[in-house]
């Protein structure tokens, strides 16, 4: 047990302490609801039997890890228990941690793909109320602070106040917003935005879109129209289509991800409000069931609380207490 957690800690030692702390703070509710319950189960049931597996299954499902993912995880744990001849439940915790990292880590690159030179276009999709506009604003702040030239496109021309909300973010971070009047054709806004980005020598164009109701085919068709306009003006664009999901909605977020993933060419996911839910296990369910990389997570309200997702940081933050305990044992 000690060696696994030491390896996990060492593997993220090069990452900044501030990022590590953000993950720890942002996952406090999930850690309390999920990991502490697992630890209590292991302490109370020292023997690994069917009753143990059933309780563990219940805890995982309760944390919104997802039924299919939980079944897979329990099956894999059973195999490892037999293979390693594990009898003491305490020895299972690092195995669970390893499996969680394995489910979260995929072949895909978790970083947002940007062109090394020229214009990069990132399109944001998702239903209303998930935090799309806030995510765009925070990402604009991140890129601008890195010295990149950023432009925003107000493609949500339907929701009352959407254009104004994006403008507020633009003013806050010092980035221009390309817009038209409310009710305008979103594809026309995107065309204007791409032309402006080219003329101004912009590095990154971040595009907002209306909150799509995934069962409305006409809105999905409109999204495809936006996609075609961008692609025609910038070959290879959009370079990312990021689906923004509200982590507090749990399994509903998974349903949205499945429908959007099928219809809108999503390349990655953004999970907002992860700090506001005890069901952070939804990250594992979405990553495992959709095979789409989680690229960004919202861990708080502050401007720099939007963080690139890192599977090891995520698991390290969840099992922070146990890692500290293992270090004390080692000493």
| Residues tagged in the binding site annotation for GTP | 126-133, 208-212, 272-275
DSSP string, 127-171: -TTSSHHHHHHHHHHHHHHTT--EEEEEE--SSTTHHHHHHHHHH
List residues forming the annotated binding site: 126-133, 208-212, 272-275
Strands 150-155 and 204-209: parallel
Measured CA to CA, the distance from residue 167 to residue 154 in angstroms comes to 8
Q: Give CA separation, 194 vs 121, 156, 292, in Å.
A: 8, 16, 27
Neighbours of 191 (CB within 10 A): 18
CB 192 within 8 A of CB 229: no
DSSP H/E element including 294: strand 294-298
Torsion angle defined by CA atoms of residues 51, 28, 309 and 108, in that order, rounded to the nearest 10 degrees: 0
Q: Give CA separation, 223 vs 17, 128, 207, in Å.
A: 40, 15, 12
CB 12 within 8 A of CB 320: no
Q: Where are the alpha helices (DSSP H) in the chain?
A: 2-11, 17-26, 28-30, 36-44, 50-62, 67-84, 92-104, 132-145, 162-173, 186-200, 217-233, 251-263, 282-290, 311-318, 320-330
SS3 308: strand
């Amino acid at each position: 047990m000690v060696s696994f957690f030491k390896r996990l800690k060492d593997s993220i030692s090069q990452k900044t302490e501030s990022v590590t702390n953000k993950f720890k703070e942002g996952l406090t509710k999930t850690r309390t609801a999920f990991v502490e319950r697992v630890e209590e189960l292991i302490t109370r049931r020292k023997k690994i039997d069917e009753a143990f597996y059933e309780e563990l299954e219940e805890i995982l499902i309760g944390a919104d890890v997802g039924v299919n993912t939980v079944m897979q995880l329990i099956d894999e744990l059973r195999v490892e228990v037999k293979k390693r001849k594990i009898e003491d439940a305490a020895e299972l915790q690092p195995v669970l941690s390893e499996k969680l990292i394995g489910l979260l880590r995929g072949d895909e690159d978790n970083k947002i793909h940007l062109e090394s030179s020229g214009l990069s276009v990132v399109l944001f999709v998702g239903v209303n109320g998930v935090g799309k506009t806030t995510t765009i604003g925070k990402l604009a702040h991140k890129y601008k602070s890195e010295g990149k030239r950023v432009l925003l496109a107000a493609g949500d021309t339907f929701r009352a106040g959407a254009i104004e909300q994006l403008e507020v973010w633009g003013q806050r971070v010092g980035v221009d917003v390309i817009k038209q009047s409310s009710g305008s054709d979103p594809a026309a806004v995107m065309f204007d935005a791409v032309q402006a980005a080219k003329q101004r020598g912009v590095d990154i164009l971040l595009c907002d879109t209306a909150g799509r109701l995934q069962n409305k085919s006409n809105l999905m068709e409109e999204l495809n129209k936006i996609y075609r306009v961008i692609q025609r003006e910038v070959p290879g664009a959009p370079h990312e289509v990021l689906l923004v999901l509200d982590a507090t909605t749990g399994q509903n977020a998974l349903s949205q991800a499945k429908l959007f993933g099928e219809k809108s060419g999503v390349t990655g996911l953004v999970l907002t409000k992860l700090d506001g839910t005890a069901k952070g296990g939804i990250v594992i369910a979405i990553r495992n069931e959709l095979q789409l990389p989680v690229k960004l997570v919202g861990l708080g309200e502050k401007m720099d609380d939007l963080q690139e997702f890192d599977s090891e940081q995520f698991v390290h933050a969840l099992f922070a207490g146990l890692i500290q305990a293992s270090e004390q044992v080692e000493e």
